[in-house]
Amino acid sequence: MAYLLSGERSSLADASPSYPFGGIVRWLAKVHSARARRVALTQLLELEDFRLDDLGLCRQDIVEAIRNPDRSGALAHRRADRARTWRPYY
């Protein structure tokens, strides 16, 4: 067993929050941001197709973003792909 110096803390102490309600505050912030994301994606679904096309998105991209919330950069990636291949109509 290794001895700790007086200035070192164990990994258990590093993982514990500095105050007891820190975990609750972080959880509430996570829930709030997830709800805000769902609301924003739902509002995007309400847009007309030509407006979504102006943004470089389609409805399927938004549906996939709602189904897979862990892939946060998926919409930005799809927009960037479409921006590279976009050609003006004139």
pLDDT per residue of the chain (90 residues) written in tens, 0 to 9: 455 555 555 555 555 556 778 888 999 999 999 999 999 999 999 999 989 888 888 899 899 888 888 876 888 888 888 888 777 665
Q: What is the pLDDT, as a whole number, of residue 36?
A: 93
Q: Which token pair is 88?
A: 């003006």
Which pTM was predicted? 0.62
Distance of alpha carbon 49 from alpha carbon 4, whole angstroms? 62
Map out the domains of the chain as residue ranges: 49-85
